[in-house]
């Protein structure tokens, strides 16, 4: 139970064409949350990656009891040379504001962890914004915060 309400029955599935319109809304919401300018063409590119078996990116959507997408996750494998192993990287995780507290984020992460175990990944890793307090509160309960600091250099 979350806040005295019964937990909603959720299903975690790979996004299908019938999920595309809602996935687009969720992904646009994710971009807006992080104040990232995102175009329909950019979303179309990511959607194509999710359906290209040769592309490393994979996706999942959390469906509510009516079968409507309420959350998404995008992830991929990454090489860990120092550990001589492969890990999984969670690039994007977003739950619709009205569905927060439903267990969707936890269910999506759990599904990625299970995928990682099945593939022999040694770790699932992700980053979030320092000021994303709600997400960080959840992440602090389910994962270990690392000591690593992230840097980037723009190339274009």
**Helix intervals (H) in the chain:** 20-33, 40-50, 104-119, 133-142
- Name every residue whose Cβ is closer than 8 Å to that of residue 110 and which is 6 or more positions away in sequence: 12
Taking every pair of Cα atoms in the chain, the longest distance, rounded to a whole number of angstroms, is: 49
pLDDT for the residue 116: 98
CA pair distance 28, 37, nearest whole angstrom: 9
Q: Which pTM value belongs to this model?
A: 0.88
CA 5 and chain centroid, separation:
24
Which domains, and CATH codes, for the chain? 11-142 (3.40.630.30)
Q: Is the alpha carbon torsion for 43, 74, 52, 55 positive or negative?
A: positive
How does the average pLDDT of the chain come out, rounded?
92
Identify any residues that bridge with 124 across adjacent strands, giving them in sequence order.
88
**DSSP classification of residue 101:** T
pLDDT > 50? residue 3: no
More confident: 16 or 150: 16
pLDDT digits (tens, 9 = 90+) for 52-105: 999 999 999 999 999 999 999 999 999 999 999 999 999 999 999 999 999 999
Do residues 13 and 61 touch, judged by C-beta distance below 8 A?
Answer: yes
Structure tokens at 146: 């690392």
């Amino acid at each position: 139970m979350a806040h005295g309400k019964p937990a909603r029955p959720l299903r975690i599935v790979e996004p299908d064409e019938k999920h595309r319109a809602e996935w687009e809304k969720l992904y646009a919401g994710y971009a807006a949350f992080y104040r990232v300018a995102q175009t329909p063409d950019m979303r179309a590119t990511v959607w194509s990656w999710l359906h290209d078996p040769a592309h490393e990116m994979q996706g999942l959507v959390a469906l509510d009891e009516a079968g409507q997408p309420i959350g998404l996750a995008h992830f991929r494998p990454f090489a860990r040379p120092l550990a001589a192993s492969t890990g999984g990287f969670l690039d994007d995780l977003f739950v619709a504001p009205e569905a927060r507290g439903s267990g969707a984020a936890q269910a999506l992460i759990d599904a990625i962890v299970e995928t990682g175990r099945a593939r022999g990944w040694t770790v699932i890793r992700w980053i979030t914004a320092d000021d994303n307090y709600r997400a960080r509160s959840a992440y602090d309960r389910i994962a270990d915060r690392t000591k690593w600091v992230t840097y980037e250099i723009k190339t274009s």
